[in-house]
Each structure stands twice: as C-alpha cells, then as structure tokens.
Amino acid sequence: MRNASALSRFVAMMIATGVVLGGCGQASYSPAPDPGSSELGSSEVGSSDAGSLEAGSLGAPLTGSGSGAAIGAGVPVAAGSAAKTRIGRAVDPAALPSGSTYRNPDNGRNEIIVKDTSNIAVLIGDSQSEPAYGWPRQGLAAAGYKVFFCGRGGTGFVASNGKTGNYIDALQRGDWKLPYGAPPLVVIEGGGNDAARGASDAQIVANAERLIASIQQRYPAARILMVGTLGRGAHYGGGRRSEVDALLGRVADRHGLPFVSAGDWLTRYNLTGSMADRVHLNRQGHAALGAVFGQRLQSMGFDYADPGMLAGLSHYAGRAAGAGLSH
C-alpha cells in the first residue's frame, strides 16, 4: 500500500475513470478555518479541486446557457452559476439545460437540473468528501456512480462553518441544493466536526433523524447509505470521533439503513502514516481508502460498472487489508 508509484498510478486511474458532478448550487469557495475545528485547516480542503470544479475535468463548468450540453465523463455540472431560477408548474424541467436552478413546486426548494440521474449518487458530507479526490467520491465513482456533492468542509450534523449551515439547516435554507429527479443513492458521511466541537449525542441524533426524514421524503425510491466518522479506533486514540461513528451506526440501524463504519479505518488499514494533518488523509491515503470503500460498497450489494476497475480495487484494497492492524 505504501508503494508510491503504484498508488500514483491508482490515483490517475481513479481520476480518469471516476465521473464526478460538481453540485449543490453554490460556487466553489475556500471556507475560512473555524478555530477549534479539527476538520478544517488541511491543504486539501477548499483547494481548487474542491467544490464545483473537479480534478480531471475538461475545463470550465457547464453553465445553464441553454446549450443543453450532455454531461460527459469528468465534466462537472455547473452549480446553477449562470442560470436563472425557473419557477412553477408551467415550466417543464426536462426542457431546462443541465446546471439550471429549478424551483420544485412539490417542495418549494430550488434544485439543480441534471439530465440523467439514473446512476447519480448524492453525497452529503464534510471535508472528507469535499475534494474531488476524497475517498468517499473515489469509492462511489469506482462503483459506477456519478457523484453529486452536497456539503462543505467544517460542517456536519450539528456543526456549521459560518457560511454553510449544518446538513439539515443547509438543505432547508438552500445553502446547497439537491439535484432534481430521482437519483438511486444518497450517501450521508460525516460526524468529525460534530466530534471536534462538542456536539452532544442528543443533538447529533436529532439532526441526523431530521436529515434522514427529509431525504426519504424527497427521494422515496432512493437507497440511503450512512458512512461514519473516519478515525483511529477506540483502542488507538480515536476518542470522540470513534464514539460519534458508533452513534451514527445506531441511528442507521434504528432506521433500517445500511451503514459503513469508518471509526477505526486509519489504524485498521495502516493509514496513520498517510495523513495530511491530524484528521485528513493525503492524496495517497485517499486513494487507498477509496479502494477500501469501493470494496465495501461491493460487499453490500452495490454494483460495479467496470470489471477492470473492480480488479484494480481488489488489488489495492487487498494490500491495504494486508497491511492493517489486527483487532
């Protein structure tokens, strides 16, 4: 797993094959570090790769200019940047160009037009998910999904970053916007900022349940997958991060949702030496953990679109597991 050249090739493969949609109806910006937040401060957060511009994209984002250009591999959807909001039942959303902002009359919220949501994974997350090379994005892209990211570094179930509210508040007040349509998968990742800022179990549970209810109401046919808080594990100094990971697992179980625990992944997969800072992985670490996450998706019944990619994931995930600590 520590072979730099092999991991570099894997990163290139992931970027070349992963299709990632910039999302959520807001321009990319670098969130100001919030004192006391362990989720901010990484050079990877708020970089030019984060937000609506993706690594490996073919230039500037598409705009809602009326061209109706198709979304291709590696080309992000514009976050409604040049489109006017279209309102009312008289407007046919199917006729709007990709990236347009559309006021959904069924819920009164602005949403982003995506021409084909058949293999979209809506990813709600924090700075673990925000970079284009983030491990949740890499795993989802390898599983055959186009990723529509909603969230910002420094946020969580309770935590906000000053500009963007916590997950449920940001959704309700439009800090970021969901895609219009019926994506098959919604992934909710986070908890690290809540752990860092002292959010209580009761606060986290209450807001997580509000978010789940809102997503289930908006996308009743979608599968919802919860991904816990990346950490070192309770026996290796994981502290509150591992506690929040376990708490989110209980929330998911209570709602009958699949859950991926990441509370000990840094030590389980021997990634403590692949850190950009205390809580964020470097690019090689993201690539290695993206492989692990992709394998976990496969084991949970998520289909892989590319057998070649699956072979690559098996190779790197196997090396990561082989280097991991026994528990």
pLDDT digits (tens, 9 = 90+) for 287-299: 999 999 999 998 9
Q: Indicate the pLDDT class of residue 14, thresholds 50, 70 and 90.
A: very low
Q: Largest alpha-carbon pair distance within the chain? A: 60
CATH number at residue 288: 3.40.50.1110
Question: What does the pLDDT average to over 231-236?
Answer: 91
Q: Which position has the higher pLDDT, 120 or 45?
A: 120
Domain of 316 in residue numbering reads as 4-323
Span 58-114, pLDDT tens digits: 222 222 223 232 333 233 333 333 346 666 668 899 999 999 999 999 999 999 999
Of 232, 254, 257, give the one whose Cα is nearest residue 243.
Answer: 232
pLDDT score of 311 more than 80: no
Q: How confident is the model at residue 50 (pLDDT cuts 50, 70, 90)?
A: very low
Apex CA 319: angle with CA 315 and CA 323, to 5°? Answer: 170
Q: How many CA atoms lie within 13 A of 197 on its CB side?
A: 21
Q: Is the pLDDT of residue 23 over 70?
A: no
Mean pLDDT of the chain: 76
pLDDT at 309 over 90: no
pLDDT classification of 321: cutoffs 50, 70, 90: low
The model's pTM is 0.73
Average pLDDT over residues 123-152: 96
Is residue 266's pLDDT more than 60? yes
Instruction: Give pLDDT, residue 84.
Output: 60
Top pLDDT among 30 and 248 is at 248
Beta bridge partners of 86: 102
Does the structure show a pLDDT above 50 at 24?
Answer: yes
At 140-177, the pLDDT tens digits run 999 999 999 999 999 999 999 999 999 999 999 999 99
% pLDDT > 90, the chain: 62
Q: What is the pLDDT of residue 236?
A: 87
- What is the SS3 assignment for the chain? CCCHHHHHHHHHHHHHHCCEECCECCCCCCCCCCCCCCCCCCCCCCCCCECCCCCCCCCCCCCCCCCCCCCCCCCCCCCCCCCCCEECCCCCHHHCCCCCEEECCCCCCEEECCCCCCCEEEEEECCCCCECCCHHHHHHHHCCCEEEEEECCCCCCCCCCCCCCCHHHHHHHCCCECECCCCCEEEEECCHHHHHCCCCHHHHHHHHHHHHHHHHHHCCCCEEEEECCCCCCHHHCCHHHHHHHHHHHHHHHHCCCCEECCCCHHHHCCCCCCECCCCCECHHHHHHHHHHHHHHHHHCCCCCCCHHHHHHHHHHHHHHHHHCCCC
User: Over 70: is that where the pLDDT of 314 sits?
Assistant: no
Q: How many domains does the chain have?
A: 1
Structure confidence at residue 86 (pLDDT): 62
